[in-house]
Amino acid sequence: MAYIEPAPIKDKENPLESMMERFNLAAQKLGLSEEVYNVLKNPAKQVIVSLPITMDNGKIKVFEGIRVIHSNILGPAKGGIRFAPDVHLDEVRALAAWMTWKCAVVDIPYGGGKGGVRCNPREMSAGEIERLVRAYTLAMIDVFGPDKDIPAPDMGTGPREMAWLMDEYSKAHGMTVNAVVTGKPLVLGGSLGRTEATGRGVMVTALAAMQKLKINPFQATCAVQGFGNVGSWAAQLLEERGLKVVSISDISGAYYNSNGINIQEAIAYRDGNKGTLEGYQGAEKLSNPMELLELEVDVLVPAAVEDVITIGNADKIKAKLIVEGANGPTSAKADAILNEKGIMAVPDILANAGGVTVSYFEWVQNRLGYKWTAERVNRRSDRIMKDAFDHVYQAAVKYDVPMRIAAYIVAIDKVAKTYTFRGGF
């Protein structure tokens, strides 16, 4: 019998609670009215669908598909689709809200949304994944739209899945609609610079923060957790800017080399090794991958999953600066410990906003029917990221709060003001 597996209970903090704790703090600092608080607190729309898929063995398996639109106050909802075995509604709600705040922080005209399908793409064939993407798209055909809700890749999905989504959506509408989704392959209207955009934004905000902390990049060390798209690009670009990347990790484990890891070489190794660092010889393997987070480095970039810096390890973190490539890598309870230790954290909703910024450029190019050069994309996204950093830093000084709460303040203020202008019923 086909059945929908219940979400596994994780021995972790609930990301929605983590998001709400920061939201509450920022709302309080801003003096947000109770009415607007209630509007921004609740997701605008939540859709859950059941997706029966014929697997390669001929059996039908039913998957659960989620799409949450947290807000469309600033514009159409924007946010990725996550394919992961443990994805659950509260997580998608938190991720959707983070997209709202992220788009507001970098000042692009989007609300926030997020999708999730509980599945393990690592154990599925390309055909099974394609059928799942197409079924999910059709089930969400009235939710998605270039002026309504624009998906993109997230964990477990990439350009290939976005191409299937665009194709299915286009077929259902009898015309090519490439602006319905971003993160597409270049030939389908993807943007130059989109692949590296999130890692590039991590690099730009890391350098801006290092300047404030008076850390010289040419004398700085760095550890990067996660060697997927975000982590490997962040590592490569930080290395290019002079930092010595002494540790990297992925699902196969964490690797350490006090002389610095050659990131291009590590990427080439991963690409020729079914996408993992398993067996990588350019560094020694740490006995416990979580040790990476506690290394004596200047800059720590968590670019893997949620909830890795928690009350369990926050007091052991020695980095001077944390730049969050992942969404939600630090639990709300760990914030206080990091603040007390004087560690600056460039929060996810600022540090990893380079991805959605170039998604916005992709959507703009699709609507113009035009293509920008990589140079134009990078120059404009670098400027947006640097401006956003400065804006959040100024808010941190003005409200006397850490960078994370300052980023929420900037975002909530923008969305609240826009809501007040638009008005309600």
154 versus 306: smaller Cβ distance to ligand GLU = 154
36 versus 150: smaller Cβ distance to ligand GLU = 150
Q: For residues 142 and 47, is the Cβ–Cβ distance under 8 A?
A: no
193 versus 217: smaller Cβ distance to ligand GLU = 193
**In the beta sheet, which residues pair with residue 52?**
62
Task: Determine how many CB atoms are found less than 10 A away from the CB of residue 281.
Answer: 9
297 versus 309: smaller Cβ distance to ligand GLU = 309
Find out whether 373 is annotated in a ligand binding site.
no
Residues that bind ligand GLU (CB under 6 A): 78-80, 152, 154, 182-183, 327, 352, 355-356, 359
| Least Cβ distance, residue 356 to ligand GLU (angstroms) | 4
Torsion, Cα of 414, 415, 417, 423 (10° steps):
160
> Nearest 5°: phi and psi at 158?
-155, -165
385-416 burial, b if ≥16 CB within 10 A, otherwise e? beebbebbbebbeeeebbbbbbbbbbbbbbbb
Find out whether 285 is annotated in a ligand binding site.
no
Query: How buried is 157 (Cβ within 10 angstroms: 0-12 exposed, 13-18 middle, 19+ buried)?
Result: buried
| Least Cβ distance, residue 307 to ligand GLU (angstroms) | 16
Find out whether 318 is annotated in a ligand binding site.
no
* Structure token digits, residue 29: 């600092």
70 versus 78: smaller Cβ distance to ligand GLU = 78
Alpha helices, DSSP H, located in 106-174:
126-139, 159-173
- What whole-number distance in Å separates Cα of residue 324 and Cα of residue 382? 17
| Least Cβ distance, residue 221 to ligand GLU (angstroms) | 27
Find out whether 29 is annotated in a ligand binding site.
no
| Least Cβ distance, residue 22 to ligand GLU (angstroms) | 16
The residues annotated with a catalytic role in the active site are 114
Residue showing the smallest CB distance to ligand GLU in the complex: 80
* Structure token digits, residue 312: 């369990």
254 versus 403: smaller Cβ distance to ligand GLU = 403
| Least Cβ distance, residue 21 to ligand GLU (angstroms) | 20
Find out whether 247 is annotated in a ligand binding site.
no
| Least Cβ distance, residue 78 to ligand GLU (angstroms) | 5
**In the beta sheet, which residues pair with residue 78?**
112, 150
- What whole-number distance in Å separates Cα of residue 60 and Cα of residue 1? 9
Residue with tokens 């947006």: 384
| Nearest to 65, CA basis, from 137, 159, 161 | 137
| Nearest to 385, CA basis, from 414, 408, 358 | 358
Name the binding residues for substrate.
78, 102, 359
